[in-house]
Amino acid sequence: MRVSGLFRLVALIFALVTTWVFIRSYNGFNMKTIRLPRWMGSVPRETRVEKTKCGLSKPCPENFFSFKLSSGAANVVGPSMCFENHLIMSPVKNNVGRGLNIALVNEPTALVKFLKEIQEGVLVLVASYDDPGTKMNDEIRNLFSNLGSSYAKQLGFRDSWVFLGAKDLKSKSPFEQFLKNDPNTNKYEGWPELLELEGCVPRKVF
């Protein structure tokens, strides 16, 4: 009886010790799970990229128009024009063609017809496609020069050109890019590379 009683005492002590170890381990696990959300809370939040009008690299200030022009690439990819986040012309819209693609913008008044009818305060957006210069006569070149172009008079066969101007500017437009068709520097066979022009235009034109 004494031996069996001793075994019972040892078994009881063992059970108590085992239970105590289990409880400590369980409590330790709970402490870790409680602290886990705090650790997770320190993870940096996902940064949101601010969307800009016409996909500009940075937003325009207030009282400025946003625009983006892309010339055509060779005679394969057509030009595109975006103004104030409105896609005016693009190959997707199927409203571009060979030569000069021109958009006349006068917000909030209606669009006006063509170069000679352009009124003050109207913005003119131009993007070339394939061949912008062959059919341009001296009168057309002078009209573009009066809109602020620095390159209209030298525009030639298959040159790349993007331009934003307005009537009767006091100086040349700062929004213009021109690339001469040169077999030694052309990116495509027979054509220079695509040009892109983007920026912010004061709502009171220049």
10-residue mean pLDDT profile of the chain (206 residues): values are: 54 57 51 44 58 90 90 82 91 84 57 67 84 81 90 90 87 92 81 84 73
Q: What pLDDT is stored for residue 60 in this prediction?
A: 92
Q: What pLDDT is stored for residue 80 in this prediction?
A: 92
- The pTM of this model reads 0.57
Distance, in Å, from the CA atom of 74 to the CA atom of 98, rounded to the nearest integer, reads 10
Q: What pLDDT is stored for residue 134 in this prediction?
A: 81
Q: What pLDDT is stored for residue 48 in this prediction?
A: 65
